[in-house]
Structure 1
Amino acid sequence: MSSKGKRVSVAGMTSLSKRDSLEKPLQPPIRGKALLGKVSFSNQPSWSLTGLLAAQRMTKNLKGKRALKGVKKTEIVEPQPPSFASRPTEKIQVTAMRQVLESYLPERLGTITYNPASAPSLVKEVSEEIKGRVKRVLPARYKALCLVTLGERGQEDIKVVSRCLWDSHSDSYAAHVYENPSLFCVVAVYAVYCE
């Protein structure tokens, strides 16, 4: 303890000569070195060229291993339907169904303005006509289900969502959105294989 009653830490002590008085407060060491008698403490790292090169080689290998660890090998395998599933002889041509929708909707709804009174009958007509056209491009033993959503085009946003439980190996769908200045129409056609 100093004469003023202040306690000095061991890490902050420097060697005292006979000339130094205890009345002066001790200064903390510069650059992290503290001397206590003949023992010195240092928190400065010591570097060597060989140590740096070895550390560089180790981290290079670790980076490579980490990169390989995160990447999983994926194999593309042709998905096979389960043995109990029905197997159609011919696959659905989804592009043909989309072409039917893309050609029919502008032709049928291009000049129509939205009218709430006639919208239900228009939806039924559009649905039946699309179903008839899609059946021409479907393979045998497929059933078509057509959902049509029709509404007035305004400032609002709309989301049309559907969910189905089916066999992904044989069943499929096609959807298309058509808009003109006064209305929007969302059509989804589902093709389901039936035994």
Structure 2
Amino acid sequence: MSKTELESRMLKLNLAPPVMKPKEARTRPSRNTKLAASKVTGKANGSVKTSRGKTTARKSSQTSVKSDPKTAGPSIFSILITRQLARNYVKRFRQGRQQQMIDRPIPPTYQLEPKARFDPLLVKPLIKKVVDARMRTFRYQQTTAALLSKILATECKDAAKTLDYSRYKLVCQVFIGEKKDQSASISSQCAWDTNFDNVVTYNWQSANVYCIVTMHGIYQQ
């Protein structure tokens, strides 16, 4: 059936002839527009288009480990820094004490007896005050116990020096240990003058830690 016959029949049936739309011109996209479109879709969908036309999805896995500050222990770097700071503190403290002894030499007095004898009843309360203040919040650790014993020995001697025991040499020993169902015995022996020299001992204990401080007062003639 030709076109004219179809139009004549449609006119008889009071139908409008179909309107033929002109064909649209097909435009072929260039290569640059294809690459730009593939980049945009790849970023949006997380995929990469290969040279063969296959798309491969990007796989990105990120694992994050969050450490709880309450349960995480100190790092090795912080432990080393703490040790170095403690050594520097002890070194500067000793140098300062040595410089004080050099600046204040004791002149000879030509006296055979001390003005005030070393009294354990007066020294023990001072030692107790120093040890109780330091050991009240102490938690035993091997590294910190060694440093604390040095600090306690120095502070106990400084406290005893406030009683003005001139020409007395004070020797202080501090023992700090952890209680683990064991027994420990500490003894000392020395040769001294029973008329002027004396010793005092203070024993501090808790549920997990013990601290024993022994101080000798030796008169220098």
What range is the shorter-chain TM-score in?
0.5 to 0.7
Preserved contact between residue 172 and residue 191 of structure 1 (Cα < 8 Å): yes
Instruction: Measure how far apart 1:189 and its partner are.
Output: 0.5
| 1:112 paired residue among 138, 158, 166 | 138
Query: Which whole-Å CA distance do the structure 2 matches of 1:156 and 1:190 have between them?
Result: 27
Aligned to 1:142: 168
* 1:89 paired residue number: 115
**When the two structures are aligned, how many residues end up with a matched partner?**
111
1:160 aligns with 2:147: no
Could you tell me which of 170, 180, 191 is aligned with 2:196? 170
- Cα distance in 2, alignment partners of residues 164 and 136 from structure 1: 25
The CA distance in 1 between the partners of 2:169 and 2:163, in whole Å, is 11
Name stretches of at least 5 consecutive residues in structure 2 with no aligned partner: 1-110
Secondary structure of 1:137's counterpart equals coil
Where do residues 25-174 of structure 1 align in structure 2 (5 Å cutoff)?
86-174=112-200
Task: Determine which structure has the larger helix proportion and give its number.
Answer: 2
Taking the aligned partners of 1:162 and 1:139, their CA distance within structure 2 comes to 22
C-alpha distance in 1, partners of 2:179/2:164? 32
1:57-114 per-position Cα deviation (integer Å, ceiling 9, x unaligned):
xxxxxxxxxxxxxxxxxxxxxxxxxxxx942232222211111122221111011011
Give the residue type in structure 1 aligned to 2:113: R
1:165 is aligned with what amino acid?
A: A
RMSD of Structure 2 on Structure 1 (CA) = 1.5
Query: Any gaps of 5 or more consecutive residues in structure 1?
Result: 1-84
Q: TM-score, normalised by structure 1?
A: 0.54
The one-character-per-residue Cα deviations of 1:121-146 (angstroms, maximum 9, x if unpaired) are 11111111111111112421111110
Please state how far the C-alpha of 1:181 moved relative to its aligned partner.
2.2
In structure 2, what residue type is equivalent to 1:153?
K
Matched, 1:179 2:205: yes
Sequence identity percentage: 23
**Are 2:219 and 1:193 equivalent residues in the alignment?**
yes
Ranges of 4+ aligned residues in structure 1 off by more than 3 Å:
none
CA contact (8 A) 1:119 1:150 kept: yes
User: Which protein is bigger by CA-based radius of gyration?
Assistant: 2
Q: Distance in 2 between matches of 1:109 and 1:169?
A: 34
Distance in 1 between residues matched to 2:147 and 2:191, nearest whole Å? 29
Q: Which AA in structure 2 matches 1:105?
A: V
